[in-house]
Amino acid sequence: MTYCVGIITKDGFVAASDSRTNAGYDQVNVCRKMHLFEGVGDRVFVAMTSGSLSCSQSIVTLLRKDFEAGKGLAAVETMYDAARCVGEQVRRVSEQDRKALEQDGFKVNVHVLLAGQIRGRPHDLYMVYPQGNPLRATEDSPFLQIGECKYGRPILDRGVRYERTSLEDAARYALISIDSTLRSNVTVGPPIDLLVYGKDEFTLDRRRRFPDRDPDLATIHVQWEHALRQAVQALPPVDFAPDPDR
């Protein structure tokens, strides 16, 4: 399983991903799911993938080959075109592998999160479905998730706002969202990759990999659980009225 989340705010975006892959319950490996496209000056992209690792790798390989040749993501004019460009490679790999996978009961199910900015254009965040079509994050829905989404969603629903959430807080929300997922699902696991991008920066330098038992992540984990317990105890007690059907 996988959990990746992208958060967009007026100031930039945050991307975070886990690194656990498993085929069945016993073949568990570590694999980076966050892929950076940078170094051409006028644009940066980060892509995160969930679903079949083989298909995901193929998609990223094809995207990177084009990017390095000055085509594909290196040549598109807008983030919408970039999302479409990713969708084309999703469809290409799907066409190539679907028949062989499906005849053995596997599904073609790669989701891609794509965040980025092209100079002179706004920063943006998209999800590309396994069918290749793109969905854009909006001011009302300023985060997108792929993989094991549900455990990490409530904290994002409660806290993340496009206009008001600072990038620093968005990074904390992303880490807590991933930490919540790790806590509840063993098939999502470290290292955690985290990237923060401020609009118009055009570098992807603010990134960090948190390995298993990273002391900073452990501090956040412990402090967060402590804060939650205190917050629960600070809630008003439940008043049980004499008439329960009032």
CB 107 within 8 A of CB 101: yes
**Element at 198 (helix H, strand E):** strand 192-198
Q: Give the binding range for a copy of itself (CB under 8 A) out of 2-10, 60-68, 132-140, 213-221.
A: 213-221
Q: For residue 29, state whether it binds a copy of itself (rule: CB under 8 A).
A: no
Q: Give the binding range for a copy of itself (CB under 8 A) out of 68-76, 78-86, 134-142, 167-175.
A: 167-175
Q: For residue 100, state whether it binds a copy of itself (rule: CB under 8 A).
A: no
CA 91 from centroid of its chain's CA atoms: 20
Distance (Å, whole) CA 152 – CA 104: 32
Answer for which of 63, 114, 171, 178 binds a copy of itself (CB under 8 A) is 171
Burial category of 214 from C-beta neighbours within 10 Å (exposed 0-12, middle 13-18, buried 19 and up)? middle
Closest approach, Cβ 240 to a copy of itself, in A, equals 5
CB 198 within 8 A of CB 153: no
Instruction: State the binding string over 138-157 for a copy of itself (x if CB under 8 A, else -).
Output: ------------xxxxxx-x
Q: What radius of gyration do the chain's Cα atoms show? A: 20
Answer for which of 176, 178, 189, 197 binds a copy of itself (CB under 8 A) is 176
**Element at 14 (helix H, strand E):** strand 12-17
The residue ranges that bind a copy of itself (CB under 8 A) are 150-155, 157-159, 168-169, 171-173, 175-176, 180-181, 183-184, 194, 196, 205-209, 216, 219-220, 223-225, 227-229, 231-241, 244-246
